[in-house]
Amino acid sequence: MVKRIKELEKTSRLLEPSAHERKEVRKKVITYSETFLNDIEKIKAYNVTIGKGIDILESPIGEKPIDIDKAIKLIEKNVDFPGLNPASGGHLGYIPGGGIYYSALGDYLADIFNRYAGVFYASPGAVRMENMMIRWLAGIVGFPKTAGGNLTSGGSLANLMGIVTARDAKTISSKNICQSVIYLTKQVHHSVSKAIRIAGLNECIVRFVPMDERFRMNTKELEKMLSLDKQSKLNPFLVIASAGTTDTGAVDPLEEIGTLAKNYNLWYHIDAAYGGFFILTDEGKIKLKGIELADSLVIDPHKGLFLPYGLGVVLVRDVKHLQKSHYYQAQYLQDALAGADELSPADLSPELTKHFRGLRLWLPLKLMGVKPFRACLEEKLLLTKYFHSEIGKLGFEVGPEPELTVSTYRWIPTLRQTPGDINKINEFNKKLLEAVVADGRIFISSTMIDGKFTLRFACLAFRTHLKQVDLLLKILKEKVAVLEKMK
């Protein structure tokens, strides 16, 4: 047996590269990533390819290793080239991501040291750091000292945790689920609807509150619904507002909804995954007034703080509720119970072992301070106003004045034989989108609003500046001219 153990040790030690091997591989990885970063302004925002990364499948996982050069070539060709380049300043579709560099270094350190950030006993410093970030976030949105939260993998998980917490705090169970009512608008992000289903709340009554012309929840209608539902002996328990909808960037009247939530004893959940960080700006503070009234709130650093993908946050006004829904004990973890100065993430989330996400948030904020983040957010607000006004000047039909950094627009083509034909107008705008995406220098996306194929300008990539917005305006003008001729 000892002989076999020693044999196995020899092979298993291959898992620990030598200092020299580490240096060689690291050099190549750094060279590859530095080339990307140095060329980022020249690299397209979207690459249409025929294979769509299919060749990655030609190199199956097997017993034999390959060298780092080959591995990088596979990644470069099949992973980093095809499709969307979210690191690009030309990413003006969906809700853009980013990829702040120091977060990558935070992740590097988190992975090398592999601190066990789920439990205070195992890694008190890591847990203190994560909770410190939660307290900072709770502070900027104006939550009281009772607040707590969790660093999640993204906004969808954060929404799920908020909704599960609401369900338990309002004691929704098989006994009352069919009489229990949830209020939201059709503009709510689909991760919220998914969360309602996953949380087992599909049998609740879901009321879609009508919206005003700017896609914001109409609070008069909400109040009417609440009062009728109360009279009908139903159980209104949850209202969900958006602080920045994905489709149009609308911010619901957060303060008025908060007052109704209080008067009707509802749990108030706000999805501020996209819009929450604008609270760091003066304009955002005004637009997001009332955010502090939420019982649970989602805010995504991998959107509004431009971090690489993998960080959302759920905040709960009274952490006791989050804990009640997510806490569990195991016998083998009995030693971990003693001497905890801080609540452990494992007691506040469905996860036990987890990535130490705090470091990717803490490091860039410490190395750069909050100021450039605030400036970047304010710049995006102004770039969106600029786009909205310039695209109108080009003759596009524009949506409502942007509230945050999403602006909608579409081209109404000259249709001599069938003016106003919605299908033809939709088709034209679809072709326009495809032409911009095929060009690839700028990436845009679309949505359907009242049956209209509508183009979206979504400005949140930290590398987007005036140059990229002007380029988009130029591309749109050129493509419209070409498509108008082809009709």
Ligand X SMILES: Cc1ncc(COP(=O)(O)O)c(C=O)c1O
- Binding of residue 246 to ligand X (CB under 6 A): yes
Structure tokens at 225: 């619904």
One of 91, 167, 189, 355 touching ligand X (CB under 6 A)? 189
- Binding of residue 165 to ligand X (CB under 6 A): no
Structure tokens at 183: 């209020």
- Binding of residue 273 to ligand X (CB under 6 A): yes
- Binding of residue 155 to ligand X (CB under 6 A): yes
- Binding of residue 443 to ligand X (CB under 6 A): no
- Binding of residue 300 to ligand X (CB under 6 A): yes
Fill in the per-residue mask, 115 to 154: x = in contact with ligand X (CB under 6 A), - = not in contact. Answer: ---------------------------------------x
Kindly tell me which of 160 and 169 has the beta carbon lying closer to ligand X.
Answer: 160
- Binding of residue 95 to ligand X (CB under 6 A): yes
One of 78, 156, 344, 446 touching ligand X (CB under 6 A)? 156
- Binding of residue 274 to ligand X (CB under 6 A): yes
User: 394 exposed, middle or buried (CB, 10 Å; 0-12, 13-18, 19+)?
Assistant: middle
Rounded-to-integer distance, Cα 359 and Cα 382, Å = 30
- Rounded to the nearest whole angstrom, what is the least distance from the CB of residue 41 to ligand X in the complex? 25
Q: Report how far apart, in Å, the C-alpha atoms of 209 and of each of 35, 212, 275, 337, 455 are.
A: 50, 10, 20, 45, 25
Fill in the per-residue mask, 301 to 340: x = in contact with ligand X (CB under 6 A), - = not in contact. Answer: -----------x----------------------------
Rounded-to-integer distance, Cα 219 and Cα 227, Å = 12
- Rounded to the nearest whole angstrom, what is the least distance from the CB of residue 94 to ligand X in the complex? 6
One of 78, 85, 191, 281 touching ligand X (CB under 6 A)? 191
The count of other CB atoms within 10 Å of the CB of residue 408 is: 25
Kindly tell me which of 151 and 273 has the beta carbon lying closer to ligand X.
Answer: 273
Number of residues that bind ligand X (CB under 6 A): 13
If DSSP codes are grouped into helix, strand and coil, which group holds residue 351? coil
User: Using the 8-state DSSP alphabet, how is residue 307 labeled?
Assistant: P
One of 107, 229, 252, 271 touching ligand X (CB under 6 A)? 271
Q: Which stretch binds ligand X (CB under 6 A): 109-117, 123-131, 250-258, 267-275?
A: 267-275
Kindly tell me which of 95 and 472 has the beta carbon lying closer to ligand X.
Answer: 95
Rounded-to-integer distance, Cα 5 and Cα 11, Å = 10
User: Using the 8-state DSSP alphabet, how is residue 53 labeled?
Assistant: T
What are the φ/ψ torsions at residue 238 (nearest 5 degrees)? -145, 130
Asked if 331 and 487 touch (Cβ cutoff 8 Å), the reply is no
Ramachandran region, residue 416 (left: φ > 0; alpha: ψ -120 to 50; beta: rest): alpha
